[in-house]
Structure 1
Amino acid sequence: MDKTARNLVESVLTKKPGGDQIIREYVRTKSLTDTSRRKLVNILAAEMTEIHGTAPPRRVRELYAQGIIEMFPSLRDPYSKNGYEHFYDGESGSGYLAWRLKTIQRKSTSSDTRRHASFSSEETLSQEQCKEAISFMKYSSDEAAIKHKMKMTFDYRCKMVLDKEKSSDVLTELPRFKDIKGLIEQDFTLEFGQDTASRFLERWPTVFKQKIIQQSKTLPTSSDLEELIYCAEAVSSEEEFEETLSTGWDSDLASITLLLHLIPPSYQGRKRPGRVSASQAEKHLVVFQKSGTNIQEHIDAISCATQPYLLVVGTKRSTIHEFFIVLDKQISHFTQSGLTLWG
């Protein structure tokens, strides 16, 4: 984990403007000035929000904080437990990275509020304009323009989803859900507001996730349930979890899967409604594929079922890199933050 954290920070700094200058300064002086330290924090916080949204998971923040002191050892705090708490302390939610992320969240909320006001008062599209925008999005390669038009057509698309005759054609009419990341998260924010989305993602690891685990421990025990709880509580850097994590889900996905045990699924059979076990439901809800798998071949091989499921791709079930929703042999790509909102 030390090496992984260091490599993560190093890769960000070597590809971002100003990162090489920070590295050279440390090599030359074995330290960083306050100005350089602020630049370092700003670069890493920007990278986190670009990948994970404005409220990255706690373990992601800790990984970046650990990477800082592994790459710049003189920045380690000798008086704290892990040495990186001044960059991010998961217990208190404080530290340079946490404060920078909160600043980004405030600016994002303010910006979204202004955009929403503009959208409401000036840029409301007619039905005909919405149809033109949807036609434009099918063939455009401009991601920024597509995301903007997706915002402008939000109300129109919501009505489309609720229309029984049109709902099955959503991914056909809006195919960019398949190849442009962040559209699902954007729709969640438009529906509930940036503040709600950010606060939910911020509180997920420390509040909601812990409540799911606690409630799950009160259920009748089973081997599948115990493994999910074990994985949900696991910290992948600890050696004692290595064997379980090689076959079990990662912590967030295990927590979301626990909802199947808390809210038992039902099955509508031909004769009468019946029960299906949570473990059986999990196999229908989440499908894992190894990195390098041809996703299109996987889609072509499945039977045309209308029940949507989550397709996750990674080196192993505890290390997921990509998330897709599959419905009617159509796929939509979304980020890890989108997974939490989806759950």
Structure 2
Amino acid sequence: MKDRTRRDLVNILVADMVEKYGRAPPMDRRTQYALGLVTLFPSLRDPYSKNGYVLQDFELLFGAETSSKLLEKWGTLLKARVIEQAKNLSRTPQLDYLIQCAEENPDEDGEVPGWDSDMASLLLLVYLLPPPPSGKKGTVKISIREAVDHVVKFHKSCRSLQEHSGPDKRKQPYILAVGTTRNRIHEYYIVLDGELLPCKARSSLSAFDELFKAHYVFGISYDQALNTMYTFVQTTIYNIDVGLSHETPRVKDLRAKLLN
């Protein structure tokens, strides 16, 4: 099946589902549509998900065009502009480290010491859209550095993964990047409710794409510390519920700076 045909098929299904069940169809209906899609067209089955359709579920919610927004926009439009905006912030060693990684500037030994360029530039969004200040109702103040840890954690490939699983782990999803170093990652997982879901992704950008989509597929609210960042990704990158979701002035200001 050609990409254009696949997109048309998914869009037809989305239109039918929205007409029958509204903009936010029940989970069982989304699952029913996704299962039907991969049953009729096995080549669309996702081999890395338990049932073959997690990613299909997101496409059924928003369509193939919306589903591909991050991968299409980041490298060609937003990444360089995010890096430039980050350079205008008050500099700290951790911020400088991420900017260096994002620009792929090597250290004295000729290697970039941390995350790859895509992951580092995505994490710069947390600096540009930091956690809410203390005193806001229902929020717990954490540092930007701690908030970054709520997006992705590095796991040395020689160690057991069990430390990230179990019923006592926090519910909001994050990426677990497994490898020998932060810029040599072999596999990615989404950690959700103490469960490790293998990512289809083989790149950090695709892993973040799956992390964002997991919120919608599993009906999970954004992490409080990352709410502003995720709202920006939702409205500005994926164009989901633009004008309907609450956006802080920071989100609107950053969008204007990046897109104008």
Question: How far apart, in 2, do the equivalents of 1:311 and 1:253 lie?
Answer: 12
The aligned counterpart of 1:290 is 156
2:89 aligns to what SS in structure 1?
A: coil
Gaps of 5+ in 1: 1-103, 138-142, 152-175
Matches within 5 A, 1:89-238: 107-117=2-12, 130=28, 144-145=38-39, 179-180=49-50, 183-234=53-104
The aligned counterpart of 2:164 is 299
Question: How far apart, in 2, do the equivalents of 1:250 and 1:321 lie?
Answer: 13
Are 1:310 and 2:178 counterparts? Answer: no
Identify the structure with the greater helix proportion. Answer: 1
The structure whose RCO (Cα within 8 Å, separation 6+) is larger is 2
Q: CA deviation at 1:120?
A: 5.1
Question: How far apart, in 2, do the equivalents of 1:241 and 1:182 lie?
Answer: 43
1:111-157 CA distances to partner (integer Å, 9 max, x unpaired)? 221343267559x9999xx58x77xx7xxxxx943997x99xxxxxx
* TM-score, with structure 1 as normaliser: 0.46
2:172 aligns to what SS in structure 1?
A: coil
Are 1:281 and 2:176 counterparts? Answer: no
What is the RMSD of the two structures over their aligned residues, measured on CA atoms?
4.5
1:325 aligns to what SS in structure 2?
A: strand
Q: Is the 2:173–2:193 Cα contact (8 Å) retained in structure 1?
A: yes
Q: CA deviation at 1:328?
A: 1.9
Are 1:338 and 2:224 counterparts? Answer: no
CA 186–208 in structure 1, closer or farther in 2 if over 3 Å, else same: farther
Matches within 5 A, 1:237-256: 242-245=110-113, 248-256=114-122
Q: CA deviation at 1:252?
A: 1.1
Larger CA Rg, structure 1 vs 2: 1
Q: CA deviation at 1:186?
A: 3.3
Question: How far apart, in 2, do the equivalents of 1:262 and 1:147 lie?
Answer: 42
Q: CA deviation at 1:224?
A: 0.3
Which residue identity is paired with 2:99? I
Q: CA deviation at 1:330?
A: 1.9
2:150 aligns to what SS in structure 1?
A: helix
Q: Is the 1:260–1:278 Cα contact (8 Å) retained in structure 2?
A: yes
Aligned residues, how many?
202
Give percent identity, aligned residues only. Answer: 32
CA 300–199 in structure 1, closer or farther in 2 if over 3 Å, else same: closer
1:28-81 CA distances to partner (integer Å, 9 max, x unpaired)? xxxxxxxxxxxxxxxxxxxxxxxxxxxxxxxxxxxxxxxxxxxxxxxxxxxxxx
Q: Is the 2:83–2:102 Cα contact (8 Å) retained in structure 1?
A: yes
Which residue identity is paired with 2:173? P
The aligned counterpart of 2:132 is 266
Q: CA deviation at 1:194?
A: 2.3
